[in-house]
Chains A and B, each alone.
Chain A
Amino acid sequence: MASRQRAPRREGHRTTLRLPSPVLEAAANLAEELGTTPNDAIVRLAEEGAAARTRRERIAALAAERRRAVDLAGDEDAPAFPSPDETRAAILAGRSER
């Protein structure tokens, strides 16, 4: 008789979860693919998800910092607002470039 599969030993908090069926199904598929237990597969999926979330948050934080710099630039060194004609001429300056 084949011995019962065991998940690798892990340190950490022990908990009981109610899993949505799609997650359980994904875990069962991964467990079969890796030759491990469904519980171990659930942890692996959670670790993958956490890493993906961290990566997304890092990108979002960097983008937010750069966008803040874009939003704040210019205000501090503009002494007075230009006239409508000056503004329009400046906007269309690129059209007359040679």
Chain B
Amino acid sequence: MIAWDTTLVSRLYPGGPVERLLLEHARRDDVVGITAPTVMEVVRGLELTAVRRPSIARALAWFTRVVGSDLVEILPLDHWSAIVAGRVRALQPIPPTGTRRKGTKPEQRAGWILDIQIAACAWTHGRELTTENQGDFHTLSELVAQLYPGAPPLEVTQPAQT
């Protein structure tokens, strides 16, 4: 019943501990969800880097196969999640303050928009969200609860130790 955000998916590597965890979930018929915005974020990063380092193209090909397989379930940005994401962004257009962030202001804002979409997808698809970015996603969970007070909240969990 979980979805992984980009902080976790970015640690996926053939034969690595996070891939083993993914396989373990699939073996238990508890397939990990990955949101479409996370797929976009990961692929964008790999594609940009592949221009400078051609070996990254292999990682992109591998990731493409993983997301096309039944080891994961891709959670689309459908009409419910798009509505939730739009409402959350209107409520909190820029990333919350109080955390040191990497990147330029426009990059931070783009990251925040992706995190909003990730939270919205996980929530509307009935998943809990596992992330290393506890601060921002707890904020997002509170924003969703503020907009939909009677609905079951977005649960945000820490990744298991790998």
A residues apposed to B, CB below 8 Å: 48, 51-52, 55, 58-71, 73, 94, 97
Contact = CB atoms under 8 A, between A and B. Distances in A.
Interface string B122-159: 01111100000000000000000001101110000000
A48 B3 CA distance: 22
Given A58-B1, A62-B126, A66-B151, 15 more contacts: A52-B29, A59-B127, A62-B152, A65-B152, A66-B80, A66-B126, A66-B152, A67-B80, A67-B124, A69-B150, A69-B151, A70-B84, A70-B124, A71-B80, A73-B147
Contacts of A63: 124-126
Contacts of A68: 151
Given A59-B127, A60-B126, A70 B152 contact: no
B114 to A, nearest CB: 16
A7 B115 CA distance: 51
9 contacts: A52-B29, A58-B126, A59-B125, A62-B126, A66-B80, A66-B151, A70-B83, A70-B84, A97-B93
A22 B5 CA distance: 37
A28 B72 CA distance: 28
Given A65-B151, A67-B80, A70-B83, A59 B29 contact: no
A61 to B, nearest CB: 7
B30 interface: yes
A75 to B, nearest CB: 13
Given A66-B124, A66-B126, A48 B29 contact: yes
Interface string B106-132: 000000000000000001111100000
Nearest to A51: B29
Residue of B89, B93, B125, B127 contacting most chain A CB atoms (<10 Å): B125
Contacts of B93: 97
Contacts of B126: 58-64, 66
Contacts of A52: 29
Given A48-B29, A63-B126, A70 B148 contact: yes
Nearest to A64: B126
A70 B148 CA distance: 7
